[in-house]
Chains A and B, each alone.
Chain A
């Protein structure tokens, strides 16, 4: 039946990016490199451009950077898995959207930009918050609704923010963050501070009208905004070929140039983001499509296997896992040993466990916090009687 054929062909296309590349690693320096010397590494596949010349496949990096990538990605992966168990233990409630499998996008982006640049994303925001400088304790406390959370426990999983390092959240309504992101870029252009905004959205949100409206306005005004489509191929339960007539999201901008990137390769993401940042500061918006994959379901209430096969998930995990790719690079260039990497994983696990324990100690917010931060100055809580002295009612 055609449906099965379509599923089979789309599954193989998910595995394709790795299979077509054979020359993953190319050494250009001697093996006993000091920690400062540069390495040139080729990305898994070349970039594909739409109305633009794609950047080169060769990425400059350093051993330190690769180790950093590994450490942080392992931490992110651990955090998401721990959030999974916390959710099943009913310490995290409501909606919990996990990012494991997509860590390379967060890491590669951070490596290419500064904290002055802004990132805004949708609800799958835990790892990006971590990448922007958020601590594990703040993240877990917010997930559990405690006072020490980054939004004081009042936001939850979908509302992580970190203003001082340019992380604008954390938004629940699909696609609503795209006009916000273009607005942040408008503010950056208005104040002329040379920073850019990365507006992340998913393949599901790519069909929202407000995205095209915002793209039109950004292109008109030459705003420094980079729209990044994190294409994990499923909008909750709907595969991309069922939702979009043209799933080539990097081409959807039509008059706006686009770039298709292998989102499981942190170095490719870094190269693309660096290229994009230079481009938009001169020429206006660009779309990046990150071809990535999530191992968990859409959220914790979705098993993730009703619309895709377990073989597909384990296939991608074997062939294209971002952490495994960095691990192989580190071992092949002899920048680290198996034992060291295992130790890093162990210490990440320990760090996450300690953070969870600390977050559990934090208390729930005080009941008076219900009314704070509704208005600036906390207005709107009490209504006074005619003589302003007796308190007649507390407005709900």
Chain B
């Protein structure tokens, strides 16, 4: 926001309150109430307004207090945000960033634990990225703001308290690149967002058992970085996808299809996809634990694939 006066923030309680997860803390004091706009609770309309402002040249960052609330703005995101550049023959660009916390938290209930990446992935014209560490959150956010395309940045409710030392210098990450978390030889594990941590936990167990998993954080959910993924498959010949999306129609389902289409010759075993169960997220802690993929399940799946 310092660098470009056209960047503004739009969302509920982003200004005086500092953001429900303190993401926009103190920004209103620094940049004023118009640039850090507190909106009433009207997701459809304030998303529409931000897109209209983007048509005039501003670069709004729209915050959904919880990603699930953005379902109310689906019409604006799909028809106006994604498609305007195309239907106007290239006259209008919509350089918005839509961000917010999503994913399964701790006992938040079904409606506040939604994973919207599966619903949004078919919308033509948008890019989707998911951040998982403070380092890539900062880099991806900068890249998303600088991009001329509409970008949806998926954050995770449980990852806001992570602490990491990040470089002081300016850095911007590429929106279409995946991150190699742990190089390996035996199996490729593709993951994103919070599941990365479950995978790394499982990786410790696997290393003790003698396996050498290669862990890739795909980061770019649309379009997939098939270059990095392909290189990895060419090396290991086995793929496991671990995600927090639902099984039906999720990111894992699309990724499985893409891998099968493009890299079928290189696979020694069918692609296995571990996703959350196709159920509304329950409130009870034990049930909630069993809707998402746990490290033990990852270890079992790897052992099965590597037989």
Contact = CB atoms under 8 A, between A and B. Distances in A.
Interface of A: 118, 120, 149-156, 159, 161-163, 168-173, 176, 178-191, 209-210, 213-214, 216-217, 220-221, 372-377, 379-380, 383-386, 388, 392-393, 395
B230 A155 contact: no
B261 A179 contact: no
B149 A163 contact: no
B235 to A, nearest CB: 9
Interface string B50-65: 1111111110000000
B42 A213 contact: yes
Given A152-B90, A217-B42, A386 B230 contact: yes
A184 B94 CA distance: 12
B79 A176 contact: yes
Contacts of B88: 151, 155, 159, 161, 163, 169-170
Interface string B85-125: 11111111100000000000000000000000000000011
A380 B40 contact: no
A296 B44 CA distance: 32
Interface residues of B, number: 55
Given A154-B89, A169-B88, A187-B53, A383 B226 contact: yes
Given A186-B52, A213-B40, 12 more contacts: A151-B91, A156-B87, A176-B48, A178-B45, A179-B48, A179-B52, A182-B48, A183-B56, A186-B58, A210-B42, A376-B148, A380-B223
Nearest to B176: A379
Nearest to A220: B40
Contacts of B93: 376
B76 interface: yes
27 contacts: A149-B89, A151-B88, A151-B89, A152-B90, A153-B89, A154-B86, A161-B89, A168-B92, A171-B80, A180-B52, A183-B55, A184-B53, A187-B56, A187-B58, A190-B34, A209-B44, A213-B40, A213-B44, A221-B34, A373-B85, A374-B85, A374-B124, A375-B127, A377-B148, A379-B223, A380-B223, A383-B226
B40 A216 contact: yes
A318 B266 CA distance: 76
A84 B58 CA distance: 39
B149 A184 contact: no
A180 B55 contact: yes
B191 interface: no
B271 to A, nearest CB: 16
Interface of B: 8, 34-35, 37, 39-40, 42, 44-58, 75-76, 79-80, 84-93, 124-125, 127, 147-149, 176, 223, 226-227, 230-231, 233-234, 258, 261-263, 266
Contacts of A184: 52-53, 55-56
A248 to B, nearest CB: 23
Contacts of B231: 386
A384 B226 contact: yes
Nearest first, the 8 closest Cβ-Cβ pairs linking A and B are: A183-B52, A179-B48, A187-B56, A183-B49, A386-B230, A213-B42, A213-B45, A180-B52
Given A172-B79, A179-B52, A187-B57, A161 B86 contact: no
Given A173-B75, A183-B52, A375-B125, A190 B92 contact: no
Contact of A217 (B46, B56, B87, B90): B46
A376 B149 contact: yes
Nearest to B8: A190
Contacts of A189: 34
Contacts of B226: 383-384
Contact of A159 (B50, B87, B258): B87
